[in-house]
Each structure stands twice: as structure tokens, then as C-alpha cells.
Amino acid sequence: MWLNEQQITASAIRAYRKALLNSSPHHIVIDGLFDQSKLDEVSHVLQQEQQWKTQKHSYSALYVNDTQWQNTPDTERFVQRDRWDRTVNGAENTPSAIALEFLQFLRSSEFMSLLSKIFSVQITDINVAKPEINTNYFRLSTSDFVNQHADDSPGREVCMLLYLNKDWQHDNGGELVFMGKDNKPVTIAPSYNRCVLFDPSSQGSEHWVKAVTSEAATAYRYNVTSWYWSE
């Protein structure tokens, strides 16, 4: 129901595997991986202002409160963005139910089996204490940022980014940038229904997000971020 079947054929998966091996960092970009009509429903839910809460991370501590943040030098500030709060109006038959359903699908055996095939490693939540906190929606405004960092926690095999920005324009900014190798960064625009999958332990996988520009002052850059582990 959630996946675009045309993008997960056996030949497509073989192509993804080949692209992974021939890229630095090891990554693939899949446009249209998910059913667009279903994502349209999710995108509509994300426009609801009441479900967003500010999240701040420093390089030395996650989930920094406002007092700690004020005492953190700018050079140590690594993330400022909004995180979607699934506990607000999260019951069945509410508008946010479809958004919750999608997050649950991204941790389902069906989707993790697809990742396992693409990355040739067994992806599982068997040893993940709180799987649900590893898949969520985020948004960035012109005042937010995601600075250079690595996602290579022990056992983490795959990172997924899915963009949910309808009508996003080139001059809106917000591009993902991988460090790459040999001083050749890899830049990826946050186009709607574009999925980026990458191996966080591969060379050049450190990354950051370009600023959302002033031309998009009333817009947010929306995405899903999801992390996956092996046994």
C-alpha cells in the first residue's frame, strides 16, 4: 500500500545495489519510492502547527534545554529544528493517524526486508530498545540548521531521508550535502517523494544541510529521518 511497486522490482533492487557500491559515500537516491497519493495525505497532516516541538542538539549532548542552549557556543551547536510530536492527537480516526501509520510502516518487517535486500545485510529491530524514536518527521525553517555530523553509531547500517516538500524550488535551499571524498561533496535537493538511503559507516558519509533561504521564509523543509540497525 505504501510502496510504489515499480520501484521495488528485482531489476530495480539490483540497480540499487550496484549504485551503492559505485558511490562515495555508499548511497542511492530513489525518486517515487512511495505511493504519492498516500504521501499527499501525510504531507497535509504535517501542516498542522500544534504537533511540532523544537529540538536542539549540541555536539556533546542531545536534547539540550533552553538554558543549556544559551550556554552552548555557536560552534558546538549541531542541530536546531522542529520534531513532530506523535503523542498529540495521535489516536485512531484523527487526522494524524495516517502520519503515524506511515512511521509504523517504515519500521515494519516489509520495509526492513526491502532495506536488507538493497544493502545485503539483515536489518532488524530485535536489539533496538525504542525503535519508534528512530523514525520521525522533522522540519526546518530559515532560522534552523543541521550542521556537519556523522550518523555512524555502532551497528547502524542504514540511514534513510525522505523529503516531503511539495513544489520545492532550487532557490529554497535545504539541500543535503555529503562530504564525499577527494574534496568532491555530493549535493542532493530535497524534492518531494525523494528517498535517500546511505551507509553511515562509508567513506564521505558525514553530512549537513544547507540553510533554508530567505526566499522560503514562510515555508518549511519537511522530511522523515529513519535509522536502522543489524543484529
pLDDT grade for 169, boundaries at 50, 70 and 90: confident
The mean pLDDT value for 153-182 works out to: 93
When computed from its CA atoms, the radius of gyration of the chain, rounded to whole angstroms, is: 17
166-173 mean pLDDT: 87
Number of CB atoms found within 10 A of residue 123's CB: 20
The predicted-structure confidence for 120-131, as pLDDT tens digits, reads as follows 999 999 999 999
> Which of 15-19, 92-96, 171-175, 200-204 is the least confident region?
92-96
- At residue 63, does pLDDT exceed 60? yes
Closest CA to 198 of 18, 29, 27: 27
Concatenate the DSSP letters of all residues of 129-179 into one string. S-GGGGEEEEEE-TT-EEEEE----TTEEEEEEEE--TT--GGGB--EEEE
Q: 2-60, pLDDT tens digit by residue?
A: 999 999 999 999 999 999 999 999 999 999 999 999 999 999 999 988 899 999 999 99
Mean of the per-residue pLDDT values of the chain: 93
Residue 112 pLDDT exceeds 80: yes
pLDDT recorded at residue 93: 57
pLDDT > 80? residue 220: yes
Would you say 95 and 89 are in contact if contact means Cβ atoms under 8 Å apart? yes
pLDDT of residue 89: 60
Name residues whose C-beta falls within 8 Å of residue 82's C-beta, 6 or more positions apart in sequence: 52, 53, 54, 55, 138, 139, 140, 141, 144, 220
By the 10 Å C-beta count (0-12 exposed, 13-18 middle, 19+ buried), 13 is classed as: middle
Specify the pTM.
Answer: 0.95
Q: What is the pLDDT of residue 187?
A: 97
Q: Where are the domains of the chain?
A: 5-229
Give the separation between CA 191 and CA 140, rounded to whole angstroms.
Answer: 14
H/E stretch holding 20: helix 10-21
CA distance 123 to 157: 8
pLDDT at 156 over 80: yes
Is domain 5-229 in CATH 3.40.50.300, yes or no?
no
pLDDT at 176: 98
Answer whether residue 104 shows pLDDT above 80. yes
pLDDT of residue 43: 94
Task: Check residues 148 and 218 and name the one with the higher pLDDT.
Answer: 148
The confidence score (pLDDT) of residue 217 equals: 56
